[in-house]
Amino acid sequence: MDFNKTRYIPMSRRRRIYEGKAKVLYEGPEPGTLIQHFKDDATAFNAKKHQVIEGKGVLNNRISEYIFQHLNDIGVPTHFIRRLNMREQLIREVEIVPLEVVVRNVAAGSLSQRLGIEEGTQLPRSIIEFYYKNDQLNDPMVSEEHITAFGWATPQEIDDIMALAIRVNDFLSGLFLGIGIRLVDFKMECGRLFENEMVRIIVADEISPDSCRLWDVKSNEKLDKDRFRRDLGGLVEAYTEVAKRLGIMSENERPAGAGPVLVKG
């Protein structure tokens, strides 16, 4: 299939498949593909807190593209095909496994609260946790026993998910350390890709400062969604800093929405 020749479908005629808190999924140009659209909405505490933050969607689209493209390049399978425009990317359609897979390197957030471990404490080893994706239940933490007993994933799938999570964590930890950022923790989601009578688990959804905790190595400044959760302000500036350090945005690239600029000859 040639994904480079994408048929143009006007936004108004596209079929919307699913709308989430921060993204919308539309029908894709070819069977087995979808278009993932990044909105500017920020939510926290199970959507009890909500705000539109102009520019967030554009930044997450670019940062997630960068991460997923590199994962594809090192042989970690993902749903990402290519970015289409400022807010959208072409992805493979998968059946989402109803789990949030959290990998932690440093204590923070719910782990610190639940177990009384001070935020910032380096963990003795990386820890993988599973949460059942269910807004009504507030995404409760579950064990492998729950996952297999209730059929959310098979034991083999859990093994595959954990192997992927470790590879993603190793890649991301190195990537971010190289640009002076500590990967404290992150959340990923997986999907089942049905291909030639076979099913395999691949990385899906997004990986961005919305789903990671990223701390500046030197100052410990938070460069992630905790700026919104904890009312610290400066979220777009922090995400822009991450994008710049990754080399995605040039130093003087203007934020989205600014008017035309006179190019001096």
Using CB under 6 A as the criterion, which residues of the chain lie in contact with ligand UDP when the complex forms? 100, 102, 108-111, 139, 185-187, 211-213, 225
Nearer to ligand UDP, 56 or 84 (CB): 56
Asked if 124 and 95 touch (Cβ cutoff 8 Å), the reply is: no
Tell me the closest approach of the beta carbon of residue 137 to ligand UDP, in angstroms.
12
Q: Which is nearer to ligand UDP, 77 or 109 (CB)?
A: 109
Q: Which is nearer to ligand UDP, 55 or 109 (CB)?
A: 109
User: Among all residues, whose Cβ is closest to ligand UDP?
Assistant: 109
Return the number of the residue (185 or 241) whose C-beta is nearest ligand UDP: 185
223-228: long-range contacts, CB 8 A cutoff, minimum separation 24: 223/181, 225/42, 225/44, 226/109, 228/42, 228/44, 228/49, 228/51, 228/53
CB of 56 to ligand UDP, least distance (A): 14
- What is the spatial distance between Cα 39 and Cα 26, in angstroms, rounded to a whole number? 13
Nearest approach in angstroms of CB 46 to ligand UDP is 8
Q: How far is the CB of 103 from ligand UDP (least distance, A)?
A: 8
Nearer to ligand UDP, 110 or 121 (CB): 110
Q: Do 57 and 257 meet the contact criterion of CB atoms below 8 Å apart?
A: no
CB of 87 to ligand UDP, least distance (A): 19
Contacts 24+ apart (CB under 8 A), 127-132: 127/103, 128/101, 128/102, 128/103, 128/162, 128/165, 128/166, 129/101, 129/102, 129/103, 129/104, 130/99, 130/100, 130/101, 130/102, 131/99, 131/100, 131/102, 132/98, 132/99
- For residues 92 and 187, which CB has a smaller minimum distance to ligand UDP in the complex? 187
Between 199 and 217, whose beta carbon lies closer to ligand UDP? 217
CB of 108 to ligand UDP, least distance (A): 6
CB 181 within 8 A of CB 217: yes
Strands 181-195 and 95-96: antiparallel
Shortest separation between residue 99's beta carbon and ligand UDP, angstroms: 11
CA-nearest of 230, 224, 229, 227 to 211 is 224
